[in-house]
Amino acid sequence: MKKLYLVLILAAVFGHISIHTLSAYPKVSDENTAAAPGDYRWVVEGFDWGPAVNKVILTLSESAKEANAAQYQVFASRSLEGVEIAPESASGNRTVVYAYVSDEKGNRVAEGKHVTLVLAVSPVMPLGSPFQYTRINNRGGNYWVDYKLTIIHTKTGRIWNNPVGKIMPLVDNFDLTGKFSYGNNQTMSYASYTPSKTTGKVPLIIWLHGGGEGGFDPTMALLGNRAANYASPEIQVLFGGAYVLAPQAPTFWMQGPEGMTRGKDNDVYNQAVFALIQDFVAKNPNIDPKRIYVGGCSNGGYMSLKLILEHPDYFAAGYISALAYNNEFITDAQIQKIKNVPMWFIHAKEDPTTVADQTVVPLYHRLKAAGAKNVYFTFYDHVTDITGFYGGENFRYNAHWSWIYSHANLARRDFDGSAVMLNGRPVTIMEWMAAQRKK
């Protein structure tokens, strides 16, 4: 018993858990407390509100056939150098909702030398997030925190506190090493997904991240807004397999020569990211040049529209959420240039960041007035819990987060509330996009 509490105190000293949480630990027997601390892997998945550590995989010293969630306690700590994190978000208990015997990757097996603990996550549980949004060098963005766990088997006193890596479902299927050189010895990072078991040429889905996911770690672009879901089987099957490309702005897509632009001034990245796209297509000859789709949210929505304005003949369709490009800076001549590009916009009426009446609402009406026949706009009252786990329609996210409906492939109605139809049947945004092809 004394050895267990010594380990706990040391864990607290070194930041694994906070001292005040020690009282929460159950009384356990001395059996096996002398064993060396065990290894664990944590699992990070993207959710509608962002990434969360939703599982931990424990390495056992012997084979097991069953696991009991009630016999485990999990304590987490989050830290980021130079950043003060609120105490309730910095350390505390994680709830174990289920446990099962697994292999080292978390796949369930009848007998094995690993146990996977499923942890509770929710949009109001910051302790579960491996990201922290903060301002560093006068720029707001998401950053990976130093995420540490201490796991105790309360029946035996066995402890796991040695991390040996993390698993990121879907994200691990991407190549995260992409680099593109441009300008004066500058580089831009990108993630890419290559579909398997395809025949012939297949489309390319381009996703441009929001303002908080810039930098040189493309996992931000895939997890910050759940964009990795474009590589999910549910969406891939609609396209017959598709490449996915997620470029990352070194700072943010709307960076202008001085500060941030909403379209009045030219940004500093559109030429570079378009060159990156062209380079990626050239290096992957299985991409169908008639089926290249570009989309993004907020900052990325701005850049998606900017690329369409600059290269209207290159893209087969655009899918844009929380558009940050101000309508007043789009000329009538530009409307004529892009009116025949298939586009689907998603926005929320109460968006406090990209105000609909300044961006997408007037743009949509101008496109329709110009004769656009294949442009749609799903306009939500609010952005709500689409899972039903946290209150459904009664739970409201920040109304800026309308990209949730794009990633989950739920948007299916036009501005007037009517169903978007294709070949006589109603379709979702991804079903519609998969059918778009340049003539």
Which three-class secondary structure state does DSSP give residue 135?
strand
Residue with tokens 């470029």: 247
CA dihedral of residues 181, 183, 187, 191 (deg, nearest 10): -70
Rounded to an integer, what distance in angstroms lies between the CA atom of residue 129 and that of residue 127? Answer: 6
Residue 105 identity (one-letter amino acid): K
Pick the CATH number of 171-434 from 3.60.21.10, 3.10.129.10, 3.40.50.620, 3.40.50.1820: 3.40.50.1820
For the chain, helix (H) and strand (E) counts, in that order, are 10, 20
Q: Any idea what DSSP says for residue 286?
A: T
143-162 burial, b at 16+ Cβ within 10 Å, e below that, comes to bbbebbbbbbbbeebbbbbe
Rounded to an integer, what distance in angstroms lies between the CA atom of residue 191 and that of residue 245? Answer: 6
> If we measure between CA atoms, which residue out of 350, 320, 392 comes closest to residue 123?
392
Residue 369: how many other CB atoms lie within 10 Å: 10
334-368 confidence digits (pLDDT tens): 999 999 999 999 999 999 999 999 999 999 999 99
Residue with tokens 């850049």: 303
Same fold, 2-167 and 171-434: no
218-274 confidence digits (pLDDT tens): 999 999 989 999 999 999 999 999 999 999 999 999 999 989 999 999 999 999 999
The arithmetic mean of pLDDT across residues 279-294, rounded, is 98
Rounded to an integer, what distance in angstroms lies between the CA atom of residue 148 and that of residue 318? Answer: 40
> If we measure between CA atoms, which residue out of 213, 418, 188 comes closest to residue 280?
188
Rounded to an integer, what distance in angstroms lies between the CA atom of residue 344 and that of residue 94? Answer: 40
Is the predicted pLDDT of residue 49 greater than 90, yes or no?
yes
List the chain domain ranges: 2-167, 171-434
- Could you write out the three-class secondary structure of 314-325? CCCEEEEECCCC
Whether this model's pTM surpasses 0.85: yes
Q: Any idea what DSSP says for residue 168?
A: -
Q: DSSP characters for 189-205?
A: EEEEE--SS--S-EEEE
4-28 confidence digits (pLDDT tens): 444 454 444 344 444 444 444 444 4
Q: Which CATH architecture has domain 2-167?
A: Sandwich (2.60)
Residue with tokens 């944590």: 42
The gap from C-alpha 76 to its chain's centroid, in whole angstroms, comes to: 22
